[in-house]
Amino acid sequence: MSRKIPWIEKYRPRKLSEVVNQEEAKKALLDWINSWEKGKPSRKAVMLVGSPGTGKTTLAYALANEKGYEVLELNASDVRTGERIRQIIGGSMKMGSLFGFRGRIILFDEVDGLNVREDRGGLAAIVELIRESTWPIIMTANNPWDPKFRELRDEAEVIQLKPLRENDILTILRRICNNEGIKCEEDALKLIAEASGGDVRAAINDLQAAAEGKKVLTKDDVTVTERAHQFDMFKVLDKVFHARRFDEARSVTFLPSFDWENYYPWALDNIPSVYAKSIEAVSDAFDNLSLSDVVKGRITKTQEWELMPYMLELMTAGVALVRNKPPLPRFARLSFPERIRLMAKTKEIRQLRDALINRLRVELHVSSSEVSLYYIPLLRLMATSDTFKKKLLERLMKIMGYSLESVEKTLGVGGVNTSGEGEGDQRKSPKRPGG
């Protein structure tokens, strides 16, 4: 019995022209590979970014096939450690192709699947390989906007793929039905396209499950359920800002990936830029976001979780349905919150500082807040004094096992202030009881 070929592979585009509705991405990718071939690449790598099923990996293979390159693929979710990545890629850069290809394209699929903490050296190894590579490197990612991938993004030209529309998916499904000699009702194809949520891979798999072995496909033959797709915060905010109805804005809170705590800094940073042309819109959005924060505080204090629907409505519909809402472009220009970026940048130093506070709390038999409020500022002051500096730093290095640089950064005297207070902060601390 012959093995059935998955239609997703059987009908995978072999040329860029066969990839549906990604014209901007195709042009950018062609320009990049042409610059490589001329020996003048602006970046040695590109990162294809888009939600699942938009054709990132397909686009990479179509380019390689059209240009005559061999693809060496590594899935970052499977090949994770720096040692393993260097082992596989290192030797291949020095070897020619056995099958007469003009060269190789190295493909890192799902590069955002790397865990910086658990996958030892994986991210650093990819960055190093990009800098040293003599072959073009293509990476794919669903959500590379986490600050931990910043160095990787800086090394690559980021190319964004658009979510596929229902009509785009219908075009692909009709083409497959024609090739398979299956007569399909339009309503059946529409049902599959709607349920896919923009994931063409899911749509093709659903079509094969429903239609394979049939001559006619009707709506009654289709049994699919709407998929709960994961939306990153860029998509969540874009959907909120473009919403024109209450239920449309509120719908993002039903997504399994919606994180209402993470939503606040994103909305806070992006409201001024998105609604920049209307001060009334900015004012209304901030007012409603502030009210939602008040409700959140009430929930936290009293545990009245039945108030949560009001909080969610204020933070979504309250941001979307505002006075004099300016016309927005199809894709709103959104930015990563500076607060989250700063927190990620100083995470290690804050952990060192927390460990120091905890040690002093035990040694001095006082609360953590008292150590933070009274003793850390005192230690910081002593660390800037010529009289106490040397002995204090040596003592802290010995007690905590820190390097000199770590001790200085922990106290905020080594050029990095991690206390959350400005160095010119003029606020007066209350006098310590009894002192």
DSSP notation for 321-369: S-TTPPP--SS------HHHHHHHHTHHHHHHHHHHHHHHHHHHT--HH
DSSP H helical ranges for 365-415: 368-370, 376-383, 389-400, 404-411
Average pLDDT over residues 264-268: 89
Domain boundary among 221, 248, 267: 221
- Supply the mean pLDDT for the chain: 80
What pLDDT score was predicted for residue 250? Answer: 87
Q: Is 279 helix (H, G, I), strand (E, B) or coil?
A: helix
- Give me the pLDDT at residue 47, please: 93
Tell me if 54 is assigned to a ligand binding site: yes
Helix, coil or strand: residue 225: coil
Q: What is the CATH number of the domain that holds 72?
A: 3.40.50.300
Based on the fold, state whether residues 239 and 257 are members of the same structural domain: yes
Whether pLDDT at 257 is above 70: no
The model's confidence at residue 322, banded by pLDDT at 50, 70 and 90, is very high
- Which of 205-214, 366-375, 401-410 shows the lowest mean pLDDT across its residues? 401-410
Supply 221's token pair.
């033959």
Q: Is residue 122 marked as binding?
A: no
Give the burial class of 200: count Cβ atoms within 10 A of its Cβ; 0-12 exposed, 13-18 middle, 19 or more buried.
buried
Q: Tell me how crowded residue 339 is: count the other CB atoms within 10 A of its CB.
A: 13
Q: How would you classify residue 139: left for phi > 0, otherwise alpha for psi between -120 and 50, otherwise beta?
A: beta
| Cα–Cα separations (whole angstroms), residue 243 to 279, 293, 381, 419 | 19, 21, 52, 39
Residue 277 belongs to some domain of the structure: yes
Q: Are residues 265 and 328 in the same domain?
A: yes
Q: According to DSSP H, which parts of 69-199 are helical?
A: 82-92, 122-132, 150-154, 166-180, 186-196
- Determine whether the annotation assigns residue 412 to a binding site: no
Is 424 assigned to a binding site?
no
- Written as six digits, the tokens of 353 are 């500082």
Angle formed by the axes of helices 200-211 and 166-180, nearest 10°: 40
User: Using only C-alpha atoms, what is the Rg of the chain?
Assistant: 27
Ligand-binding site membership of 55 (annotated): yes
Cα torsion through 98, 104, 105, 106, rounded to 10: 70
Q: In 244-301, where do the E strands start and end?
A: none
- For 335, the enclosing helix (H) or strand (E) is none
- Separation between Cα atoms, residue 242 and residue 247, nearest integer Å: 12
Specify the higher pLDDT residue, 285 or 111: 285
Q: Judge if 85 and 103 occupy the same domain.
A: yes
Structural domain count of the chain: 4
**Annotation-wise, does 92 bind a ligand?**
no
On the question of pLDDT at 71 being above 80, the answer is yes
Which residue, of 284, 314, 338, is where some domain finishes?
Answer: 338
Nearest to 167 by CA among 9, 21, 16: 21
Which domain range does residue 405 map to?
Answer: 346-411
The verdict on 87 and 200 lying in the same domain is no
Please tell me whether residues 203 and 133 are part of one structural domain. no
Task: Specify whether 351 is located in the same domain as 327.
Answer: no
Question: Would you say 104 and 72 are in contact if contact means Cβ atoms under 8 Å apart?
Answer: yes
Task: Examine the domain organization and report whether 99 and 114 are in the same domain.
Answer: yes
Establish if 296 belongs to a structural domain: yes
Tell me the mean pLDDT in the region 324-345.
Answer: 75
Comparing C-alpha atoms, which of 45, 40, 71 is closest to residue 128?
A: 45
Tens-digit pLDDT profile for residues 198-217: 788 888 888 988 888 889 99
